[in-house]
Amino acid sequence: MLVKTIKEVRNIIKQNKLREKTVGLVPTMGYLHEGHLSLIRKAKQDNDFVIVSIFVNPIQFGPNEDFEDYPRDLDRDYKLAIEAGANLIFNPSVEEMYPQEIKTFVEVRDLTENLCGLSRPGHFRGVTTVVAKLFNIVQPDKAYFGQKDAQQVSVISKMVQDLNFDLEIVPCPIVRENDGLAMSSRNVYLKATERKSALLLSQSLFQAQELINKGERNAENIKDFITATLQKDEKCDIDYVKIVDFDTLKDIEILKGNVLVALAVKIGKTRLIDNIIMEVK
């Protein structure tokens, strides 16, 4: 079922809650791929009723980012989401979500200051605000997020903890193409030669993982290695290569504990991100 209004979603949720059905939410911006579908399938395993929201959220895009160009295909998304187990697709308009100028924002400090927060000021404020709105509208028992956006998972988990949202965040592993490229709606922007260059993101991370497995613990050495690998291709314009503690998202010098190795690279006009998360002894 396709629903466009908040009122209608609320009515349907009420009926489900009355019947003691559990509700899972998968927030997306649409143009669905296997990464999104893996979240929907997981939500279906865990819950009686699954809502997939499809909303390209203007307030999480910067002025020079791709809000207008972001790929959209609701008919295709609807079919894919239903096939994967969704019961309801919530696709509000911008006017439905933001009928007046918004003056209330949710902001998670600290965790938003490193990594993508450095190059996309205001992005996470837009994400936490819209996700908080979706949580209030849907009141899910569980909400599903991909580790592809590792910082987002961490920021939203903190928001849920700090603001006492009564739900569980379920992080889900990154789904990749056969050749390693992390799936992303933005991959459609890539021309054939750019698509080849994009492989260096996952390749450099996997090679770094091997270095770490072999005993390398010095963050600078690993970052230098990744940077050098990416720089072999002049199409790769590095935004950042970082190694942080996954609990604090602060840069670390020596790898220990729960470690996030993350990078953002621009290829042509397309900004891509990827990461690996490792427990390092």
Question: Which residues bind to ligand AMP, rule: CB under 6 A?
Answer: 28-29, 35-36, 38-39, 145-146, 148-149, 172, 174-175, 182-185
Are the beta carbons of 90 and 51 closer than 8 angstroms? yes
Q: Which is nearer to ligand AMP, 26 or 252 (CB)?
A: 26
Which residues on neighbouring strands pair with residue 172, listed in sequence order?
A: 146
CB atoms within 10 A of CB 203: 17
Beta-strand pair 88-90/49-54: parallel
Q: How far apart are CA 150 and CA 263, in angstroms?
A: 11
Q: Which is nearer to ligand AMP, 91 or 255 (CB)?
A: 91
Q: Which is nearer to ligand AMP, 252 or 261 (CB)?
A: 261
Q: Which of 9, 24, 31, 36 is catalytic?
A: 36
The nearest distance, CB 250 to ligand AMP, in angstroms, is: 22
- CA distances, 140 to each of 35, 76, 84, 106, 226 (Å): 20, 25, 18, 19, 39
Per-residue burial over 80-91, b if 16 or more Cβ lie within 10 Å, else e, is: bbbebbbbbbbb
The nearest distance, CB 252 to ligand AMP, in angstroms, is: 23
The nearest distance, CB 19 to ligand AMP, in angstroms, is: 28
Are the beta carbons of 271 and 239 closer than 8 angstroms? yes
Q: Is 123 a catalytic residue?
A: no
Q: Which is nearer to ligand AMP, 148 or 158 (CB)?
A: 148
The nearest distance, CB 35 to ligand AMP, in angstroms, is: 2
**Which are the catalytic amino acids?**
36
